[in-house]
Amino acid sequence: MSVTTSTYPGHSADKGVSYYGHNGHRYLANTNAAFGAPFKKGDVVGTLLTMEHKIVTYCLNGKRVGTAIGVDQLTEVLYYPCVSLHTLGHAVVSLEAPVATTRSNSSGPTPCVIGRL
- Report d(CA 38, CA 61) in Å as an integer: 12
Confidence label for 112 from pLDDT (cuts 50, 70 and 90): very low
Decide if 32 contacts 25 (C-beta within 8 A).
Answer: yes
Q: How far is residue 108 CA from its own chain's centroid?
A: 16
For the segment 49-89, what is each residue's pLDDT rounded down to a tens digit? 877 777 888 888 888 898 887 656 666 667 777 777 777 77
Domain ranges of the chain: 17-116
Q: Which amino acid is at 69?
A: I
For the segment 12-35, what is each residue's pLDDT rounded down to a tens digit? 877 778 898 889 999 888 889 999
Which pTM value belongs to this model? 0.69
Alpha helices in the chain (DSSP H): none
Longest dimension (CA), the chain: 42
Tell me whether residue 1 is exposed, middle or buried, using C-beta atoms within 10 angstroms of its C-beta: 0 to 12, 13 to 18, 19 or more.
exposed
Decide if 102 contacts 112 (C-beta within 8 A).
Answer: yes
- Report d(CA 69, CA 27) in Å as an integer: 10
